[in-house]
Amino acid sequence: MDPLSKIKSSKSWLPGSSSDKIVEPFSVQRVGETWTNVKVTEIRILNEEQELSHAVSIVEPREVPGPDGTSSSLSTLVSYAMDVTTEGPITVISKDGASLCGAFCAVFNCIQQINMDDSVDVFTTVRQLQTQRPEFCTTLEEYSLVYRALFDYIWTISENMYENM
């Protein structure tokens, strides 16, 4: 949810652009980096002892979603995550482990609910997340950010619906 440059702990495991990083018993290689609506850094985690490797895509927003009314970067991250075709988990991280992660998960879950049921209950979705992680969506600003992102999503799909008729 935050650029990796703002997360101090990322320097201990993320390699620079030209070298590998050894984090015993793993070796982390930076494969590449692309910029579209989001920054995507491709890394490969190798365990040479067991001859295993795992590809990971790290997706960062161009700007941090915030309480100033901008929900577009949050919507962009959610859209990217929804388009990912993977059977593996999606891990959401932030500089403190909770801020904006709850907003991301709430918007992601609400959009899935809209797509499946044609309705959404934001309050219940947020409460279900808070039973697992009480630090999620604890401020009015984060809760409002969820509503703004969902409003933008619903507005977009309703515009597209009328355009296709």
Residues 52 and 72 in one domain: no
Output the domain CATH number for residue 77. Answer: 3.90.190.10
pLDDT in the model for residue 165: 47
| Helix (H) or strand (E) segment spanning residue 136 | none
Most confident of 3-7, 34-38, 137-141: 137-141
Residues 47 and 67 in one domain: no
Q: State which of 35, 62, 89 marks the end of a domain.
A: 62
Give 53 or 162, the one with higher predicted confidence. Answer: 53
Domain count, the chain: 2
Q: Looking at the chain, how many residues does it have? A: 165
pLDDT-based confidence at 121, cuts 50/70/90?
very high
Residues 45 and 96 in one domain: no
Q: Residue 39 pLDDT more than 90?
A: no
Residues 141 and 111 in one domain: yes
Q: State which of 43, 62, 81 marks the end of a domain.
A: 62
Q: Residue 69 pLDDT more than 60?
A: no
Average pLDDT over residues 65-69: 59
pTM for the model stands at 0.79
| Tally of CA atoms within 13 A in the half-sphere of 70 that contains its CB | 11
Q: Residue 140 pLDDT more than 50?
A: yes
Residues 29 and 100 in one domain: no
Edge-to-edge strands, sheet with 26-35: 21-23, 26-35, 38-47, 52-61
* Spatial contact of 46 and 25, defined as CB atoms under 8 Å apart: no
pLDDT-based confidence at 110, cuts 50/70/90?
very high
Residues 110 and 44 in one domain: no
Residues 57 and 67 in one domain: no
CA distance 30 to 21: 9
Residues 7 and 78 in one domain: no
**Which range of residues forms the domain containing residue 86?**
63-165
32: which residues sit within 8 A by CB, 6+ positions away?
41, 42
